Structure 1
Amino acid sequence: MDTMRERFATTASRLLDEDPRLAVVLAVISSDRFKDAARAHPDRVIDVGIREQLLVGATGGLALAGMRPIAHTFASFLVERPFEQVKLDLDHQDVGAVLVSAGGSYDIAAGGRTHQAPGDVALLDTLDGWTVHVPGHPDEAEALLRHAAADGDHRVYVRLGEQSNRDPLHVPPGVFRTVRTGGAGVVLAVGPMLDATLEAVEGLDVSVLYASTVRPFDAHTLRAEVRRAGAADVVLVEPYLAGTSVPYAAEALADTPHRLLGLGTARRELRRYGTWAEHVTAHGLDPAGLRSRITAFLR
């Protein structure tokens, strides 16, 4: 199976053939994957070099000129390093673009802290009007990218990572899918966390919801499942900073007595290299770690 990043490059190249309004903006990262597309569309595959602020600035300029730009690099270089440009050149100018990151929270663990971005979604939450997709499988990544490219002039962030579920679960953008039902609690698994979550709650009487789009947050489905289950305990399992979506879940359940547990990447920095899988375990996001914390919370 190809990775989400590989699928992105293939899909974006095809989209350039299909839609003359699209452009891909790169900052060296993944440029080798767009060599053929650059030859076919030299005016719409733009590599600005190792200049991440310019990456976003050029994206904003293309949007102001009526294009639908797709900007791509690692998450730490796409959201964190050029955040001022994201805020001013996209949000303040009120123009649309598609930002597609790779690397997840710690996929490139050997690259050190500069290549880790568990706070990217939380940072975008400080801005207005962003749709955020977190696919859990390459097939989902392709579908969400195609939807984002055709999504008018909206601002969309597509977060890609190495971790993937075994099978795709196609869900309409902006909707949570009920995967299983129970009565002792509701667990919301985001993107690539679904398989680990299902393994973690095996034998527990809980509902599991799945989200591949977290912004907008599907308050309706969460609220309906909590009321159906008669459960007051809600757990969020996200592949980025723990608690990122807790305010949205709390708002959704403002008129319902409840308890919330947000699981994800800890704020504490792991000063180790290793692999992304080792980081998943170290943050307690593997099945064993999730089960331990979920069962303790439900007790």
Structure 2
Amino acid sequence: MDTMRERFAAVTSQLLDEDPRLAVVLAEIGMDGFTGAARRHPDRVVNVGIREQLMIGVGGGLALTGMRPVVHTFAAFLVERPFEQVKLDFGHQGTGGVLVSAGASHDWPAGGYTHMSPGDVALLDTLDGWTVHVPGHPEEAEALLRRAAGAGNDKVYVRLSLQSNQAPQPVNGAGFLTVRQGSPGAPVVVAVGPLLDNVRTGTEGLDVTLLYATTVRPFDAAALRAAVAGPTADVVLVEPYLAGTSTAAVNEALADVPHRVLALGTGRKELRRYGEPHEHIAAHGLDPASLRSSVTAFTGG
């Protein structure tokens, strides 16, 4: 199976052939995936070099001319380093584009903390109007990328990961899916993107309703409310980025329902040993055994 990032390069190269409005902006990273597309469309595959702020500025400038820019690099260099440009060149200017990240929380531990960005979605949450997709499988990544590229003037962030679920779900960018239905009033577990398999394994045999989220902004409040069948609610959030990123969205969705929230995700403490991705997943309590322990302790079994 190809990775989400490999699928991104293949799909976006195809879309460049089909849509003259599309342009790709890179800062060296990822350029190898667009070698053929750059030969076919030298004016619409732009490599600015190792200048991430300029990369965002070029994307915003292309959007002002009516183009649909797709901007790609590691999340730390796409969201954190040029955040002011994201805020101004897209938000303040009223333009749209597609930011596609790789790396994110702990996909490449050997790169160290400079190449990790567990707070990317939380940071974008400080801005208005961003749609955020977090696919859990290359097939889902393709569907969400095609949706994002074809949007009119929307601001879209697509967060790709090396971690992937075994099988894709029929996502369309419109809300959460119900993967497992618990009894009336059962706790609701919201699994985001590539953590679905770990959550599904970790909660096997437990009486919970399991929702799957690949589009986390806007947050599907209606699906969460529909899953809550009792006068009170226990909600467990399992996110592959900073723990608690969506807690405020849950609280807003259930403002009139007495509820508790357990927020699981990447912790704030920096893990200074490189290790491997699966070791970081376990260290943050996102492996199946740790998830089961956390959920049962929170819900009382």
**TM-score of the superposition, structure 2-length normalised?**
0.98
The residue aligned with 2:283 is 282
Would the aligned equivalents of 1:186 and 1:231 in 2 still touch at CA under 8 Å?
no
Bigger drift between 137-146 and 230-239 goes to 230-239
Q: Secondary structure at the match of 1:235?
A: strand
Q: Over residues 1-56 of structure 1, what are the superposed CA-to-partner deviations in whole Å (9 max), with x where a residue is unaligned? A: 00000000000000000000000000011101100000000000000000000010
Distance in 2 of aligned mates of 1:129 and 1:180 = 31
User: What is the RMSD computed on CA atoms of the aligned residues?
Assistant: 0.8
Count residues with an aligned counterpart. 298
The residue aligned with 2:22 is 22
The residue aligned with 1:251 is 252
Within 5 A, what are the aligned runs for 1:43-192?
43-183=43-183, 184-192=186-194
Q: Over residues 84-108 of structure 1, what are the superposed CA-to-partner deviations in whole Å (9 max), with x where a residue is unaligned? A: 0000111110100000001131111
Q: Over residues 186-225 of structure 1, what are the superposed CA-to-partner deviations in whole Å (9 max), with x where a residue is unaligned? A: 0000000100000010110000000110000000010011
| Displacement after TM superposition at 1:155 (Å) | 0.1
Would the aligned equivalents of 2:136 and 2:164 in 1 still touch at CA under 8 Å?
yes
Give the residue type in structure 2 aligned to 1:131: T
Would the aligned equivalents of 1:185 and 1:231 in 2 still touch at CA under 8 Å?
no
Would the aligned equivalents of 1:174 and 1:214 in 2 still touch at CA under 8 Å?
no
Give the residue type in structure 2 aligned to 1:271: R
Distance in 1 of aligned mates of 2:95 and 2:18 = 22
Q: Over residues 162-191 of structure 1, what are the superposed CA-to-partner deviations in whole Å (9 max), with x where a residue is unaligned? A: 000000002221311011111330000000
Q: Secondary structure at the match of 2:76?
A: helix
From 191, 195, 198, the counterpart of 2:197: 195
Distance in 2 of aligned mates of 1:252 and 1:131 = 17
Distance in 1 of aligned mates of 2:32 and 2:129 = 32
**TM-score of the superposition, structure 1-length normalised?**
0.98
Distance in 2 of aligned mates of 1:230 and 1:8 = 43
Distance in 2 of aligned mates of 1:65 and 1:232 = 48
Q: Secondary structure at the match of 2:144?
A: helix
Q: Secondary structure at the match of 1:162?
A: coil
Would the aligned equivalents of 2:74 and 2:101 in 1 still touch at CA under 8 Å?
yes
Give the residue type in structure 1 aligned to 2:273: R
Runs (4 or more) in structure 1 with deviation over 2 Å come to none
Identity of aligned residues (%): 69
| Displacement after TM superposition at 1:275 (Å) | 1.4
Q: Over residues 38-87 of structure 1, what are the superposed CA-to-partner deviations in whole Å (9 max), with x where a residue is unaligned? A: 00000000000000000100000000011000000000000000000000
Q: Secondary structure at the match of 2:228?
A: helix
| Displacement after TM superposition at 1:231 (Å) | 5.7
Would the aligned equivalents of 2:231 and 2:257 in 1 still touch at CA under 8 Å?
no
| Displacement after TM superposition at 1:230 (Å) | 6.0
